[in-house]
Amino acid sequence: MGANSHYHFDLWSGAKLAFFVRFAVVESNLKALGPITVKAGLNGRPSAEGRFDTPGIHELTARVPAELAARGGPVEVAVAIDPVITTDDGSKLGALLFSIGFRTLAE
């Protein structure tokens, strides 16, 4: 994932949902930059934030607001990472994305 990434999904309506992003923090990035902060938003609204100071696989989750889940339809997910590594070609890299999406919550 880069510094600011955007993803688009179609939500099914009526379900109690949680958003998740599963990613890996690379040890060499932590040594070079220190802990990273990951922020996620749904349709422009902040939804979750976490600070990660250990290498390995992490997951950031947040409950989808009831009005958004009830409506269903298209949703934009924004994920921001700070700080990031800037490569020689100008790319900004922060973490390795494994999966991103929505899951149904138990009633």
For 71-100, what is the mean pLDDT? 90
Instruction: State how many domains the chain has.
Output: 1
> What CATH number is associated with residue 79?
2.60.120.260
What tens digit of pLDDT does each residue of 6-50 get? Answer: 999 998 877 789 999 999 999 988 998 999 999 999 999 999 999
CB-based contacts of 23: which residues, under 8 Å, 6+ apart? Answer: 1, 38, 57, 58, 59, 60, 95, 96, 97, 98
- In this prediction, residue 90 carries a pLDDT of 87
Which tokens hold the place of 99?
């999966």
Q: CA end-to-end span of the chain, whole Å?
A: 32
Q: How many Å apart are CA 6 and CA 21, to the nearest integer?
A: 12
Find tokens 């379900």 and name the residue. Answer: 15
Check residue 29 and give its pLDDT.
87
Q: Match 């979750």 to its residue by tokens.
A: 48
Q: How confident is the model at residue 94 (pLDDT cuts 50, 70, 90)?
A: confident
Domain span at residue 30? Answer: 4-104
- Give the pLDDT confidence of 73-85 residue by residue, as tens digits: 999 999 999 998 8
